[in-house]
Chain A
Amino acid sequence: MNQYIKAFEDLKRGAASADVPWVRRLRGEAMASFIEKGFPTTRDEAWRYTDPTAIRDAAFIFETGAATLSQGQIEKLNRERVGNRIMFLNGRYVREVSSLPENVEVVDLRKALATNPEIEMHCGAHADFKQNAFVALNTAFLGEGVLIRIPEGTVLEVPLRLVFVADPASEDSIFQPRVLILAGKRSGGTLVEHYCAANLKGYFTNIVSEIVLGEGASFRHCKIQNENANAFHIASTWVSQEKGSQFSSWALSTGSRLMRNDCHVGLAKEEASCVLSGLYLGDGDQHLDQHTFIDHRSPAGKSRQFFKGLMAGKSRGVFGGKVLVRQGAVQTDAMQTNKNLLLSDEARVDTQPQLEIDTDDVKCSHGAAVGQLQEDALFYLRARGIGERDAGRMLARGFAQEVIDTAGEGLFKKELEELVSRKLEAQFSQS
């Protein structure tokens, strides 16, 4: 805790002294809220199954020297990814290796904060730092990151990919990027967030994204979390949807030692709809926590959720999904499904699907299940000469495929399939 307070004071005296007043105020309030609440513990209902004390106790520090990529790395990156790309290295936006689409405005967040008064009404307005200490911590050090603005009526032809590469110099770095996406009326496209690491050192990613969809906008979002096995990954995505907008999000979580992924969608205006789906696959002693919160605030909103977990080794999976239907949000249609497979005796799953409904004209349901691979299905395969491990993997693959199929035919579906296969390989080689 102390190192954050000290870093905040240093920041206030140093770089942040030039901040515009509203940014200074926002940061100050966020820091005050963070100091007051401190890191959550398992006594907090929202963190009952995920204990972040390891993050609290680790002495994470902000890296000072700007990390650079070697020429070789840059070339490798350029070979790997075609299409539009926004690169982050150790939480910092690196303009030089990014390839930006022409019809979209991508600005370094620090610059946007200083020069663009219009973003005041969005930055920090959707991600609620008062209820989430990690959001407060991120907001207090607001600066790294990007503003992405998609103009009215613009449809991205190629997915826009945000790549977060961690290449920490020490074992205890904290990266706190922030992404603000403002999508104009009737705009559309696909956004992919990809987290990976260049080495095996431990670090802590604490990212906050705010996505604002204008009237009739339609976006697909994909988050691939493939951090290294020593990393802590805390992420929260806050989506606000205007009338008739559509948002579909797909989250694949395979990496990190401890992950908490929060997706918070506010259906602010009528007829907005969202589809959230995802897979979390754990092995070793990974702890993967997927949380969703859908806030139906206006009439005729629709939400769908479909999450699955596969846990091997001594890993723990957590799912918490809440659907809130406020008074007046009539004709809401909400559905949520969470299914989990336990692949080993020491793995564990805790799931909490929640419905909170304050009006009567609704149709809401949720379902959750925890089980294992079916004995007779395994037997069927083994009777045909397939080894136990391969049979298990095939069945698990089928279980996962149901969610992957909801990703729709797109550029990232193939990538998801590949990543899932690779992870399953690892899960079944252990058990």
Chain B
Amino acid sequence: MTDAGSFLNKEYQHGFVTNVESETSARGLNEDVIRFISQKKKEPKFLLDWRLNAYRGWLKMKEPTWARVTYPAIDYQNIIYYSAPKQKKDGPKNLEEVDQEILRTYEKLGIPLEEQKRLAGVAVDAVFDSVSVATTFKEKLKESGVIFCSFSEAVQKHPDLIRKYLGSVVPVTDNYFAALNSAVFSDGSFCYVPKGVRCPMELSTYFRINAMETGQFERTLIVADEGSVVSYLEGCTAPIRDTNQLHAAVVELVAHEKAQIKYSTVQNWYPGDKNGKGGIYNFVTKRGICRGAYSKISWTQVETGSAITWKYPSCILQGDHSVGEFYSVAVVNNHQQADTGTKMIHLGKDTRSTILSKGISARFGKNTYRGRVKILPQAAGSRNYTQCDSLLMGGQCSANTFPSIEVANKTSQAEHEATTSRINEDQLFYCKQRGMSADNAISMIVHGFCKEVFKNLPMEFAVEASRLLGVTLEGSVG
């Protein structure tokens, strides 16, 4: 096919470091560090106890090894668990008070807050390392009764809600990385949509890992009360570092009766250089629970970054007639590894789930879809449809598909289909014959391959996702 050389040196576009003085915790992890974090954030006692409980649970757990990813052992004592940009006062009240350096960082990322405020109608809760630095559109949301703020703020202002929902979907000892996150999480976003409210705008956060050798442990909690509707966007980038950085986040979604949550992610953490040096370890636990009848949770993810991705956004379909969806595009190039997929647990009657996963592997990339559909005996009349396709580019990459389907009643149906192949030579030929360059032709075919997933993304994200896909794969065919 084409000569690989031309685009090889495409560099990570978001790799720059912002010089902001950070206030950091001591290196390593022990109960004192957790107390330090908790004290820094002026947390109530229940939260400190909750963190310590998670930490003690974590000490007893072992790092999971079942995923198809390989990486050198992580030294958890060599990580700085808390890093906050130093601030003059207690917190910025408006955009003008936010550190100009930070604002410039966002501008380079292409999300100027000012512009967003005027144009897009998107409220951005930007997480800069660990502390949420600016929240826009808060007032407007307040009018409709939606609470959307940083996690720390929610802890101060709405401790009852935090206490009620935190850890209710992902228990502290759910898995190794979730337990670690529960112990040391520094900040994140919190959203509560009250009964019957349709959130007036798309909510969005932008995560960015900045300080060297800090892990980012954010926590997101979204609660949609009866009959409410909310759409949430999450985007991630990180600057270039030689060493690997750990990112262990937890996202919890709770949908009450007839509520709908749509959660979209475009993940573009630094993937490491073309020899596999550096890059983010993205070990994330995401789970939503459809608690009430007729509720719906929809996950859409576009994973183009990270050296290693370990991520399984899942749905627990507890309410009768509830719906779970998972749409995913995972792209691995060079030495990236992704082990991602979903779990759909059907507990309620007549629950439905759809899984659509597209994996693209290029060069030495390793891509694994791992999914589980579990229909319990009481979940009568449930349905699942799963489709996962993999596209391979190059003789050294790999694509694995590991689904499990467990059905335990005779009125439910589950279907799974998977295909793996490389780009169809005939399609390529067809495009090239009509005067397209090989790269353009491949780009077009790949976009077609991912289209079903992209169409589930909100407009702004779909454009970005499609651009990212192009950047990630450029020059990977040879």
Contact = CB atoms under 8 A, between A and B. Distances in A.
Contacts of A344: 410
Nearest to A330: B395
Nearest to A352: B404
B422 interface: yes
Contacts of B415: 367-369, 371
B114 interface: no
Given A359-B392, A359-B395, A370 B400 contact: no
Contacts of A357: 390, 392, 398-400, 420
B401 A369 contact: no
A261 to B, nearest CB: 19
Interface string A369-402: 1111000000000000000000000000000000
A367 B411 CA distance: 20
Interface string A297-334: 00000000000000000000000000000011010000
Contacts of A371: 412-415
Contacts of A366: 401, 416-418
Nearest to A431: B410
A330 B399 CA distance: 14
B37 to A, nearest CB: 35
Contacts of B242: none
B411 to A, nearest CB: 6
A352 B369 CA distance: 12
Interface string B372-394: 00000100000000000010111
**Would you call the interface of chain B mostly helix, strand, loop, or mixed?**
strand
Q: Please classify how large the interface on chain A is, using the bins under 10, 10 to 19, 20 to 34, 35 or more.
A: 35 or more
Given A343-B410, A368-B415, A369-B413, A360 B393 contact: yes
B420 A355 contact: yes
A370 B413 contact: yes
A356 interface: yes
A49 to B, nearest CB: 8
B433 interface: no
A360, A366, A370: which has the most chain B beta carbons within 10 Å? A360
B256 to A, nearest CB: 30
Given A345-B409, A349-B407, A327 B395 contact: yes
Contacts of B414: 368-371
A355 B418 contact: yes
Contact of A360 (B394, B405, B407): B394
A368 B398 CA distance: 22
B164 to A, nearest CB: 35
A45 interface: yes
Contact of B377 (A328, A345, A356, A368): A345
Given A364-B421, A365-B420, A355 B400 contact: yes
A342 B402 contact: no
Interface of A: 45, 48-49, 327-328, 330, 340, 342-372
14 contacts: A342-B409, A345-B411, A348-B407, A353-B416, A357-B390, A358-B396, A360-B394, A360-B422, A364-B419, A365-B418, A366-B418, A368-B415, A371-B413, A372-B410
Given A357-B400, A360-B394, 16 more contacts: A342-B409, A342-B410, A349-B407, A351-B404, A351-B416, A352-B404, A353-B403, A354-B403, A355-B390, A356-B400, A357-B398, A358-B398, A359-B396, A368-B414, A371-B414, A372-B411
Interface of B: 66, 377, 390, 392-422
